[in-house]
Amino acid sequence: MYRFLLSWRWAIITLIGLLLIPTMIRLGFWQYHRHEARVARNQLIAQNLTSTPVAFDSLTASGRAVPGDLTWKAVTATGQYDAAHEFVIRSRTEPGGSSIGYYVITPLRLADGKGDVLVNRGWVDSPTDTASYPPVPAPPGGQVTVTGRLRGDETYANSGIRDRGGLPDRQYKLINSEQAAQRTGATFLGGYLELALPGQAAGAFPEALPDPEHSDIGPHMAYAVQWWLFTALVPIGLVVFARREARDLAAAKKQPAPELVPA
């Protein structure tokens, strides 16, 4: 009854099934490892966000990249804003919304003289004329202490942003301390501070950026389970199809042969 399993057609079907099983198992583990990486990343973010703020210049220095395990760590910096070298970062989404606007980046000259820190003061909406500099609330004058999150320098490689060039004056695509140093001649500490506590009256500062999303809820674990379920379905499917074909062949043999009608 199952001699058809020795046919070339079933040999090819079985070979495809045997190749699919390890492939889907590996895809399941790939998604599972992505889930584990997401959990580890989110745990690090949650730990850094709730850490006791430390001085910005204790974690980085001029020309030094911010280590990944320090990203989002709570930091403080004391100094005076350098509004003359303020600039904006184009094409950034409104916090919690869909409008496209700008991040306002203002250098802060540290009171201890160790250098300048780029401070992302938040988001502002785009003007009607996108070639014009947007209206930006002025930073507070005098010496201030700011608290925020430590972020690494953005690059075209790690941000996925394209360098299209030809941007208006004081408008850029990336928050990058080395590029700011080249433009101004000042000494900037690596990375930047993303402001968490504006410390000004409502409406007098750019819209503050929220904490990053760090929930463990994600699709990767579900995808892993799906791939492993598909793996289990392959042999079950082969058995079901084989039994169905055997049943159809047996039914065909039981049918009487058609009678020949004499000419």
Q: CB within 8 A of 92, min separation 6: which ones?
A: 100, 101, 102, 103, 123
- Cβ(139)–Cβ(177) below 8 Å: no
What does the pLDDT read at residue 173?
93
What does the pLDDT read at residue 25?
93
What does the pLDDT read at residue 238?
85
Give CA–CA dist 172/232, Å, rounded: 52
Per-10-residue mean pLDDT, the chain, length 263: 74 87 92 88 87 94 91 95 95 84 96 94 86 89 94 86 79 94 94 77 72 75 90 87 77 67 60
Q: Is 81 helix (H, G, I), strand (E, B) or coil?
A: strand
Q: CB within 8 A of 206, min separation 6: which ones?
A: 103, 104, 121, 122, 123, 124, 136, 137, 198
What does the pLDDT read at residue 197?
62
pLDDT tens column, 174-219 = 999 999 999 999 999 999 999 986 554 445 678 888 888 767 677 8
Name residue, tokens 């929930």.
215
pLDDT tens column, 219-230 = 888 899 999 999
Is the model's pTM score more than 0.85?
no
Q: What is the DSSP string of 88-118?
A: EEEEEEPTTS--EEEEEEEEEEETTSS-EEE
What does the pLDDT read at residue 203?
55
Spell 171-209 as b/e; 16+ CB within 10 A means b. bbbbbbbebbbeeeebbbbbbbbbbbebeeeeeebbbbb
The structure tokens listed for 39 are: 């959990």
**Domain boundaries along the sequence of the chain:** 3-43+219-252, 52-195
Spell 102-114 as b/e; 16+ CB within 10 A means b. bbbbbbbbbeeeb
